[in-house]
């Protein structure tokens, strides 16, 4: 066989084998960072209504705990700051937002019951709750 042909074939095989190693290298997944708890605005209006802004993303709620008083009127402003659809369900009160796309928001308004102490809120989409999308609703 021709010496140049063997050298060319050797270089070709080296390039193919190197390419296979590069392809097999794991590609890091890009995930939304889970933020540390930041201060979310809770305001009381003149109408006796407490407003709470809740942000959601992959797979968190911020804040992860909401404290309200029995009999208080509450307005939850639910904002999706993530990259996929989410919703906000308050277990035990039969309250739920629409499933909203990234960048959208929805609102829940209700009066806190007098006969409950702690409830859970969560995202009911697929396995989002199991992945950490739940929080506590403390009633004092």
Answer whether residue 2 is part of any domain.
no
The predicted model scores a pTM of 0.69
Of 94, 52, 42, the closest CA to residue 77 belongs to 52
Q: How far apart are CA 68 and CA 42, in angstroms?
A: 10
Answer whether residue 134 is part of any domain.
yes
Answer whether residue 5 is part of any domain.
no
Provide the 3-class DSSP secondary structure of residue 56: strand
Answer whether residue 118 is part of any domain.
yes
Half-sphere exposure of 87 (CA within 13 A, CB side): 12
Answer whether residue 71 is part of any domain.
yes
Answer whether residue 1 is part of any domain.
no
Answer whether residue 128 is part of any domain.
yes
Q: How far apart are CA 10 and CA 4, in angstroms?
A: 10
Taking only the tens place, the pLDDT of each residue in 28-60 is 444 444 444 444 445 555 568 999 999 999 999
Answer whether residue 23 is part of any domain.
no
Q: How many domains does the chain have?
A: 1
Domain range for 64: 42-139
């Amino acid at each position: 066989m021709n010496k140049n042909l063997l050298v060319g074939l050797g270089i070709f095989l080296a390039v193919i084998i190197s390419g296979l190693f590069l392809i097999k290298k794991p590609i890091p997944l890009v995930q939304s960072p889970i933020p540390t708890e930041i201060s979310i605005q809770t305001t009381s209006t003149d109408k006796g209504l407490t407003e709470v802004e809740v942000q959601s993303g992959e797979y968190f709620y911020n804040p992860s705990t909401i404290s309200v008083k029995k009999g208080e009127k509450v307005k939850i402003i639910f904002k999706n700051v993530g990259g996929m659809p989410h919703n906000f369900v308050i277990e035990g009160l039969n309250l739920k937002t629409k499933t909203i796309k990234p960048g959208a928001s929805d609102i829940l308004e209700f009066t806190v019951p007098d006969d409950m102490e702690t409830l859970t809120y969560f995202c009911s989409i697929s396995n989002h709750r199991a992945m950490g999308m739940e929080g506590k609703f403390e009633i004092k």
